Structure 1
């Protein structure tokens, strides 16, 4: 079998290289050494100061050196306390500005940043600061804290643009000396939009239908069909589950069972029903506080209770209760504002205008839940209060979107505020028992001042504040996240950090236009998604021009479509769907598919129902990846290898890696081998000629028609494998019995085994797992 394995690897490589022969290596982008005519604080100066200066001369008063503050004009222009004739910055006069003297000093004991910081300024950065001071050293509020206004849509090549998005991207391309790529061919475009909107490959029937449709709106019809597909909600929900840190266990050492899947069913339902983002946000933050709240509204607040919870005896109750509130506060900051609130838990933020007092004023909104740090035991059959019971009768009447399989009531943790107001204090150094100054509810004034009289003194008021037309962040953050889902990179690359240390937007006018347009159209998510996927920018080919690589190696300016590996959950979905094994059921409890033995047991505390892994069977083995059971201390290994989140905390952006382990998963995971076997058996029942059989298999998996050279390679490999199995018939039965799906006894022969191996090779091709 070693010879077969080597041949397998070589052919996977040959097919992948053949499929992508047009790709070239990325080259590094040369730095732009020219200075802008007008030096802008937000886009040229603040990033330098934030990286090199704000740690010692920024918002954190406790760590501020020499009483010098450079993040505000008042601080930068003020006279020094020990020398009233000296100023850090004198607008219009670099020679009189102490900043210039210190950053250009030859004396290492005086030069800034200090040597011990291991930070330096490049000659160009020094020139930028000098020119900025010469031009008046004008400070501006941080770009993300300025309320977005809809810019004029720029003129562009009318023959290329399809909607306003394209006007902005086209102009930016031209500024950088780039030009748009041609539209992707119909097969690749269909695969792309199917995976982006449903997480599933297009069926052969859909492929045929789209290829035959020559009408001008053929693509738009497909988009509308996919937006109306029940699997659209699953695809959109998967990303939100990372943000909401959804899991099926509590976390920490004992890591007992948690039942929150009805909340996951609600998220899928909300996306499929196209709830406005305003409703989606409000119900999750404060559905329980809405007058005459329905049970669905209360269920939505499970978002806040998805954090880790301890079940270990001996813990200090108040310490863990405070930890839960900290989690909700940090999640709020990252999920809805893309700010690193957690950096202010122990001290003032070192870079952003978020004081420790601001942090605990936000903390106060989430500090009113009548919960305990430790409640119940690891095997408790009830959810930690506050909770709600969901009965079969309610599922059949008011909560029809919940996929409840048995008659027993299901308990889910939700939000509920105490009848008496719990006071909140600044916690010195973040310690749960170190009460400092008492605080009321509030939010950093730098974003938008919070008035309890205007909004209210609870989470519902917080939701109203988020949706205030003067809030500069809420719409920007969400449209940026949606953009990321379709382009693999946000307009602001740092999805979770719109603060001083975050990256600047690549297309600031486009971001503001999208944010304002989204709000003005009632926060309509499906409309936003359709705008993006019907744009000419999205529909471009992913083939890269060599001249574009030199100018824009990271494709920041979108002169071609990005090549992205499909998410971990969709790797599983693709294999199951293309083989015909996928169970398309929507919602319901999580499932435990094949997993290597002993993994849970090694990491178990030795007690509780999740001490050992008990695999599911029959149709539950073939459910979508988003329903795979997530035990926080031992996440599903095959999905973790493909960069899935372990759901320990709010995560708005997964890592993206390429490792040999991913190839090993595709070659050895039972669900891949089983899918290859079942697809082989199903195809053989059609009794097709070999060329047609291989062509259909290729189209099911790669989602395009194979070229003649590719078909020739596959055919030769199939023949070689068949000959090998004829020589070693004892290998056939072992290979064809992988997985629990019933084996067709009449198909236990060398050709079936060879076809299975050929299919598994196609599953291992790079293009199979890429959205191009």
Structure 2
């Protein structure tokens, strides 16, 4: 035996027999907790856990490591540097390839592993390593920031300038102060009011409303306007739309047949009413997940469970039993994304690659829905409970089809034909303090009561995710970006919060206020941060230092979304129908958009014209045929939860505004109305500016607009003469000229954007 091997043998033996297992560490050995545990968590334990261990090898405990696996002994304590485990690591076989790419251990990690094995693999007695016990460079652990208890931080005190009254401003200004930046000045009253109306109602203010506000010098003018708008029915319609994006709302099922979901619109109306009545957020959650299981169950709470029925639905899947698991995935994903901001569905086939969510966690959560329309053991796919099972007629809702469903098993690699252990229905394990199994249903219950227990876990006052995720959604829709800019993901792959203390303060404030949403709106809207201008005197310098505006040194300039754009055109022409609720209307869709549909004559029948001027919220949402005008302006895909819509700037948007029949119809309607009121070009221009922009035209604008009317009127008169048109319904040259000017205004940045 050479000297090196003799040294290794003596070293390993002495360590092994002198208390290695009790946690003693030899001089020169890597520190187990800070150097070895992160290595094992990052590189080994994902595949070598106690359950479903690859090659039958587990590295969770020292005994497991020394026991080895299918290939025999993994660690040879007599010749540790010749161990089979180390040989495979050196050869690059371990860790295994990922996505076809070698994952060879870096030199410093290999050296650390060698030193540890040479020291006899010292391991504290009784120490058991958990894949998710701590955050590492590669994944989040249970110590991840979003999983920690919400603790209200102290409101910062500024060193320079006066202390703001609104705590939001204190958090924002403190960070700006630290970076030696100053916020933008307040936006002017007109800009602020226009922004406020769109934020709360999704509709523009009129010239009269703007003038009244500009002339109101009372100190509470702003607060009173906020209160009035939050009390308006249009508030619920605006904010319901954001929630409908989250829960993948549509009126049809998707897939080839795309059949209608009867009475889905009642869920939409329930969401509108919930926002307008300021339903506490915990109740808002409970009714949607388990409204049929609540002690005070009502028709309204059962309608709320339509949340669980909104997903796509294939009534003729290739394999009905496999498809049941796809539907479970949809329910797990939508519920966890909307309420918790976590991507639990990623753990269907294996423990989550980045977040502390085990594969068993996925099936634990899925078991809450297992007793419903996807009940196990049935060879055919179930469409859902019948109205008599819900207890109310004409409702698209959810209730369990069995109070004692068959056990749900973890599936190896997510494959139905390879079941593993049965799961005990329970909450997720990522927050140990709140982890608990679900108790059996009451003896006289018709349902499993698992969804109610899941909902109560989500709404537990000590649940750290629920409030954080929701206040971040409020911030996103008020400011254009969230404090966490990945609103549906608060895990390891999330964008870090720009102001973590502010996020926690808002979450704590939301909880202490009983989960009332309107109160949080008002708090944000009263802040100076929200009211600041999008223009900054030092914008060029600040842009170079904080291009993403993560410090909120100015307001973001924002384009109207698809619904606000359509509704604004109808509002400005005076055509907007503010009737609320009921079945959705079907807008007219051009023949070109129907080309290629196999049953285009039956695929879409537009509603009568008098029905088509309702708010965009009430558009009938057919998954296979969304209105082209709306999708052009980034209407979201309704097949999965959408926390934040894409905002694009593409040529098709300009083309749509220039050529779309709806836009032309609005221009013509407004032109006819103004032409009937006055024939004088200057007066027409003034009325047009006041209607579309809610302000009078500037002198130069008026001059150019009048010139436009004169030139275009002559052009249209010549065109009509050449065509020898005698139609009594055709617009006059003057009306056509005014319509073309209206079209210009509808295409302008002043109409399309909020400053």
Change (3 A) 1:724 1:601: closer
- 1:727 deviates by 2.0
Secondary structure of the residue that 1:501 maps to in structure 2?
coil
Structure 2 counterpart of 1:92: none
**1:142 counterpart (131, 141, 144):** 144
Structure 2 counterpart of 1:589: 583
**1:350 counterpart (326, 350, 353):** 353
Secondary structure of the residue that 2:292 maps to in structure 1?
helix
Structure 2 counterpart of 1:235: 238
Alpha-carbon RMSD: 4.3
Structure 2 counterpart of 1:421: 405
Structure 1 counterpart of 2:287: 283
Structure 2 counterpart of 1:474: 466
Change (3 A) 1:84 1:235: farther
Structure 2 counterpart of 1:385: 385
Structure 2 counterpart of 1:630: 621
Secondary structure of the residue that 1:150 maps to in structure 2?
coil
Structure 2: distance between partners of 1:455 and 1:479? 34
Extract unaligned runs of 5+ from structure 1: 1-44, 88-97, 122-132, 395-408, 738-743
Structure 1: distance between partners of 2:79 and 2:658? 69
Structure 2 counterpart of 1:184: 187
Change (3 A) 1:114 1:671: closer
**1:675 counterpart (658, 663, 666):** 666
Q: TM-score, normalised by structure 1?
A: 0.77
Q: Deviations over 1:612-663 (max 9, x none)?
A: 2111113211111122222212222111111111201111111111111111
Secondary structure of the residue that 2:198 maps to in structure 1?
helix
Change (3 A) 1:374 1:553: farther
Structure 2: distance between partners of 1:243 and 1:471? 20
Q: Deviations over 1:22-50 (max 9, x none)?
A: xxxxxxxxxxxxxxxxxxxxxxx9xxx99
- 1:706 deviates by 3.9
**2:302 counterpart (285, 298, 302):** 298
**1:513 counterpart (500, 505, 509):** 505
Secondary structure of the residue that 1:721 maps to in structure 2?
helix
Change (3 A) 1:476 1:485: same
8 Å Cα contact 1:389-1:412 kept in structure 2: no
Q: How many residues align?
A: 661
Change (3 A) 1:115 1:325: closer
8 Å Cα contact 1:480-1:495 kept in structure 2: yes
Structure 1: distance between partners of 2:505 and 2:722? 61
Q: TM-score, normalised by structure 2?
A: 0.79
Structure ranking higher on relative contact order (CA contacts 8 Å, 6+ apart): 1
8 Å Cα contact 1:578-1:700 kept in structure 2: yes
Structure 1 counterpart of 2:269: 265
Structure 1 counterpart of 2:257: 254
- 1:317 deviates by 2.8
8 Å Cα contact 1:592-1:615 kept in structure 2: yes
Correspondence 1:500 to 2:485:
no
Structure 2 counterpart of 1:8: none
Change (3 A) 1:647 1:431: same
Structure 2: distance between partners of 1:345 and 1:720? 66
8 Å Cα contact 1:479-1:514 kept in structure 2: yes
8 Å Cα contact 2:302-2:397 kept in structure 1: no
Extract unaligned runs of 5+ from structure 2: 1-33, 65-72, 81-85, 106-134, 442-448
Structure 2: distance between partners of 1:681 and 1:118? 70
Structure 1: distance between partners of 2:248 and 2:477? 18
Which structure has the larger Rg over C-alpha atoms? 2
8 Å Cα contact 1:54-1:71 kept in structure 2: no
**1:489 counterpart (472, 481, 485):** 481
Structure 1: distance between partners of 2:525 and 2:668? 35
- 1:492 deviates by 0.5
Q: Deviations over 1:251-283 (max 9, x none)?
A: 111111222001111110111111011111110
Secondary structure of the residue that 2:596 maps to in structure 1?
helix
**1:645 counterpart (636, 644, 651):** 636
- 1:537 deviates by 0.4
8 Å Cα contact 2:282-2:515 kept in structure 1: yes
Secondary structure of the residue that 1:289 maps to in structure 2?
coil
- 1:465 deviates by 1.0
Structure 2: distance between partners of 1:162 and 1:285? 38
Aligned counterparts, 1:197-212, within 5 A? 197-212=200-215
Structure 2 counterpart of 1:543: 535
8 Å Cα contact 2:376-2:405 kept in structure 1: no
